[in-house]
Amino acid sequence: MTRVSIREVGPRDGLQNEDPVPTPAKVELIDVLSGTGVGRIEAVSFVHPKAIPQMADADEVWATITRNPGVRYSALVPNVRGAQRAIAAGFTEVEVVISASDTHNRRNINRGTDESLAELPELIETLHAGDATAELIIATSFGCPYEGDVDPARVASIVDKAVGMGVDRVAFGDTTGMATPRRVRDVLDRVTRDKPLLCHFHNTRGTGLANILTALDLGVTEFDASVGGLGGCPYAPGATGNVATEEVVHMLHDMGYETGIDLDKLVEAAELAQRIVGRELPSGVLRAGPRYRTIA
């Protein structure tokens, strides 16, 4: 039975796109998710509070959660300063984002793609010196809301440069839900497989699960997902949430894939997330329940 690894990104990528929620609520959500069987959780990001005020309490959240020894927790950072904060907090898995499109990178972190790549060796060196791994997430890998289509050759070039710099893992971000199965294939057929690969899909245009199936067919077995479908992108209007974790798990289990996740507990976590943000979340499995739940 093929094992698929899901990284839960709701506590970071999800909540940073909502109105700020209280620290105890963030802690509760992470602790509940830690008990679902999910193997990886992106817990916080270390960014300037003026840029992302929703993550201003990252240190407090990380210091307060109950860490499950069976879960790998990670943090997202935008630069060397963020990497230093993550190491000081004790993280051993860290992600950094660089956009494939120059315009989105400038909107996101105030510099061009080449400028971010120029800083990457120092960032990787900082993380490795602190006994942390460095994962590069290439945002807008499948399209940019400002520039339109992104040439897969450009994405492949960024991968080659990052691998040459010593990055440990590579992820492909569908930042605004512009990916389709065709474009997923175009990118994954082009890039090197020298490092572990992960895909991060949004469901903005309803293609999230189809994109995951395409990536699975191409040999990718690591994916990001967000409980309840939380998420979006603060620098891309209309980019609604990530593909919902419970929808991904529901589909994979029915197809015979193993994730290690208890779907019923995951749905309970999605219910909690919905209460925390105070709005109806887009997950169909949250709304209708798993297919094996029959009417009494």
Q: Would you list the DSSP string of 178-223?
A: ---HHHHHHHHTTS--SS-EEEEEB-TTS-HHHHHHHHHHTT--EE
Residue 239: the pLDDT is 59
Question: Which one from 187, 209, 233, 266 is the annotated catalytic residue?
Answer: 233
Q: What angle do CA 17, 141, 50 make, to 5 degrees?
A: 30
The kind and range of the H/E element at 96 are: strand 93-99
**Rounded distance, CA 175 to CA 124, Å?**
23
Mean pLDDT score of the chain: 95
Query: For residue 198, what pLDDT band results from cuts at 50, 70 and 90?
Result: very high
Q: Model confidence over 16-44: pLDDT tens digits? A: 988 899 999 999 999 999 999 999 999 99
Among 49-53, 95-99, 122-126, the range scoring the smallest mean pLDDT is 49-53
Give the other-Cβ count within 10 Å of 116's Cβ: 24
The CA-atom distances, in angstroms, between 157 and each of 63, 163, 198, 268 are 38, 10, 17, 42
Query: For residue 233, what pLDDT band results from cuts at 50, 70 and 90?
Result: low
Residue 231: the pLDDT is 83
- Spatial neighbors of 67 by CB under 8 A, at least 6 apart, are 34, 73
The SS3 of residue 146 is coil
Strands 169-174 and 5-8 turn out to be unpaired
Q: Model confidence over 144-197: pLDDT tens digits? A: 999 999 999 999 999 999 999 999 999 999 988 999 999 999 999 999 999 999
Torsion, Cα of 189, 192, 194, 197 (10° steps): -60
Residue 127: the pLDDT is 98
Mean pLDDT over 258-271 rounds to: 98
To the query of whether residue 144 is one of the catalytic residues in this protein, the response is no
Q: Model confidence over 54-66: pLDDT tens digits? A: 999 999 999 999 9
Residue 235: the pLDDT is 56
Give the bridge partners for 93, in sequence order.
Answer: 133
Residue 238: the pLDDT is 60
- Backbone φ and ψ of 30, nearest 5°: -65, -45
Largest Cα–Cα distance of the chain, in whole Å?
60
Helix axes 80-89, 113-129, angle to 10 degrees: 30
**Rounded distance, CA 92 to CA 135, Å?**
11
Q: Are 141 and 109 in contact (CB under 8 A)?
A: no
